[in-house]
Structure 1
Amino acid sequence: MAPSSNAYWPPSPGYWPSSKFSSMGFYKGFRNLWGPQHQSLDQNALTIWLDRTSGSGFKSVRPFRSGYFGASIKVQPGYTAGVITAFYVRYGLERSYNKVFSLSNNEAHPGFHDEVDIEFLGTTFGKPYTLQTNVYIRGSGDGRIIGREMKFHLWFDPTKDFHHYAILWSPKEIIFLVDDVPIRRYPRKSGATFPLRPMWLYGSIWDASSWATEDGKYKADYKYQPFVAKYSNFKASGCSAYAPRWCHPVSASPYRSGGLTRQQNRAMRWVQRYLMVYNYCQDPKRDHSLTPECWG
């Protein structure tokens, strides 16, 4: 739902965590994971694409146990239904599809991994992209994976220019940020509902026609191939899995202890009020006994 006032941009968060972390060259922090023929690097701007033969993905060279993970991303305009562009962290076996950006540990713990996602869900002509955030805890991979999805429209067109998307993960919380505006905070309420094992950082593009666009109503149409995503301004800073125990988790706010300022919370509430289009905790079709953080 669009804002009813003239203010179509969120209030200033008053703090810009992306400015606190240095950018890195792609090959300093990442390697190709699959689809190398569908990746190209030009002056530290990475282009990956999907066509009928394959998508592509990349992965951080080291795992982390906390940190700030960001990239500036530009996605393709036009018909992109069924296509996922992702950035994510994961604990544990890489699946054969693309994520925009995420943390994960699936290779270390196949079938029992944790994952934190930012994903662009492809769209049809004239409709906006949906940005999906998700948290998986000890996913089974056998159809019983419990997703914790929150979906948003954006206050800008992500096809026109690069914008910065980030995940901040600490032992206390996960914060999703877009251009330094917090859009979601997922606090640790229990060890059973929060990822604590080391995770790697990934990015990818892939065909998810079965569910990505309006629950699979619209599929990838390869007459519009290739589907292209561009990444730059890579940031991955924090405590690696090999760092000493005294390594201090990073923060998304001026508070070293974590959390958000009042101004950051105000900006996040604005986004969730006007631009959130799905919240798993408010979905009556979900079994909320499986997501105790929604009522606990």
Structure 2
Amino acid sequence: MFPASISNAQGPPSPGFYPSSRVRSIGFNQGFRNLWGSQHQSIGQDSLNIWLDRSSGSGFKSISPYQSGYFGAAVKLQAGYTAGVITSFYLSNNEAHPGNHDEIDIEFLGTTPGKPYTLQTNVFIRGSGDSNVIGREMRFHLWFDPTQDYHNYAILWNTIEIIFFVDDVPIRRYPRKDDNTFPLRPMWVYGSIWDASSWATEDGKYKADYSYQPFVGKYSNFKVGGCTASASASCQPPSGSPSGSGGLSRQQYAAMAWAQRNYKVYDYCRDPRRDHTQTPEC
């Protein structure tokens, strides 16, 4: 069961430009390796399943670090009771800069039957998961059921902007307004499934229930197109828009406005509980 806004929606307006078509797909082993929970991971010819049970979750990491690029994967989420469970695809340099890292997140926050998944986008700049963390969360519901089929989710990151895409529809653009509010150090690409019962579902109201284990995240159609950390200054990452010079086209902005108007459920810049002196980009 999904809210009326989802069942009645006609689907997104065409963005007119499809960045995913500009980046070739790779097999998991071409670009990634297991990071943890290897016993909770199965690799197919062009797919990857990772799962969480009472004993462990699982995660993977790109072989190379990148300074910019387009990073995507098709993901299919588990149906039913998944409260407390996070399935993710993200960029980070946490291992290179522990306690002082950058991160760009796509996280699927698990849910209870009858309620839709929440897709959380987030950007961290030189901050870790300690008391000083400054998240820049924007959360969405989706205009489809993400448990029924694979859908493509992607992050485009370069020196001027971050754009989050769902099936090539831009849902959020985070421009570089100041060096202090934008991640500029090389990052790796990660994915994981883990127990975040303390906050993931309705601020921790519902916890992971292992009578429903295993919780499985399914990935395929990996796309990594960009400039590695060692690439020359002449390397040009893929563009998120037809202009090739940053920003979005008028048609893409219209599609993004549609997504935000109909499906955005939280915006850190509009949260009166937040200290906005810490997020000057708002």
TM-score bracket relative to the smaller structure: over 0.9
Report the identity percentage.
Answer: 73
1:53 deviation in Å? Answer: 0.2
1:174 deviation in Å? Answer: 0.1
Taking the aligned partners of 1:86 and 1:228, their CA distance within structure 2 comes to 12
> Which structure 1 residue ranges, 4+ long, deviate > 2 Å from structure 2?
1-8
1:140 deviation in Å? Answer: 3.5
Confirm or deny that 1:176 pairs with 2:169: no
Query: What is the aligned partner in structure 2 of residue 203 from structure 1?
Result: 191
Q: What whole-Å deviation, never above 9, does each CA across 1:35-90 have from its counterpart, x for those lacking one?
A: 0000001222100000000000000000000000000000000000000000000x
Instruction: Please tell me the residue identity of whatever aligns with 2:246.
Output: G
Q: CA RMSD in A?
A: 1.3
1:131-170 superposed matches below 5 A: 131-170=119-158
Give the length in aligned residue pairs. 280
Confirm or deny that 1:39 pairs with 2:27: no
Taking the aligned partners of 2:16 and 2:244, their CA distance within structure 1 comes to 16
SS at match of 1:263: helix
Confirm or deny that 1:61 pairs with 2:49: no
Q: What whole-Å deviation, never above 9, does each CA across 1:266-296 have from its counterpart, x for those lacking one?
A: 00000100100000000000000000000xx
What is the aligned counterpart of 1:105 among 93, 96, 106?
93
Taking the aligned partners of 1:20 and 1:211, their CA distance within structure 2 comes to 36
Q: What whole-Å deviation, never above 9, does each CA across 1:165-213 have from its counterpart, x for those lacking one?
A: 0000010000000000000000000000000000000000000000000
Cα contact 1:170–1:250 (8 A) shared by 2: no
Taking the aligned partners of 2:24 and 2:117, their CA distance within structure 1 comes to 28
1:266-285 superposed matches below 5 A: 266-285=254-273
Instruction: Please tell me the residue identity of whatever aligns with 1:55.
Output: G
Distance 1:160 1:6, change over 3 A: closer
Cα contact 1:182–1:268 (8 A) shared by 2: yes
Q: What whole-Å deviation, never above 9, does each CA across 1:69-116 have from its counterpart, x for those lacking one?
A: 000000000000000000000xxxxxxxxxxxxxx0011100000000
Q: What whole-Å deviation, never above 9, does each CA across 1:226-257 have from its counterpart, x for those lacking one?
A: 00010000011110001011111321111111
Query: What is the aligned partner in structure 2 of residue 260 from structure 1?
Result: 248
1:4 deviation in Å? Answer: 9.9
SS at match of 2:30: helix
Distance 1:124 1:43, change over 3 A: same
Cα contact 1:173–1:187 (8 A) shared by 2: yes
1:3 deviation in Å? Answer: 4.4
1:199-238 superposed matches below 5 A: 199-238=187-226
Confirm or deny that 1:49 pairs with 2:51: yes
Cα contact 2:14–2:255 (8 A) shared by 1: yes
Between 1:42-51 and 1:114-123, the stretch displaced more is 42-51
SS at match of 2:14: coil
Instruction: Please tell me the residue identity of whatever aligns with 1:9.
Output: G
What is the aligned counterpart of 1:15 among 14, 17, 22?
17
Taking the aligned partners of 2:256 and 2:5, their CA distance within structure 1 comes to 14
Cα contact 2:99–2:127 (8 A) shared by 1: yes
Distance 1:5 1:59, change over 3 A: closer
Cα contact 1:173–1:185 (8 A) shared by 2: yes
Could you tell me which runs of 5 or more consecutive residues in structure 1 were left unpaired when the two chains were aligned.
90-103
Taking the aligned partners of 1:120 and 1:126, their CA distance within structure 2 comes to 16
1:8 deviation in Å? Answer: 3.2
1:225 deviation in Å? Answer: 0.1
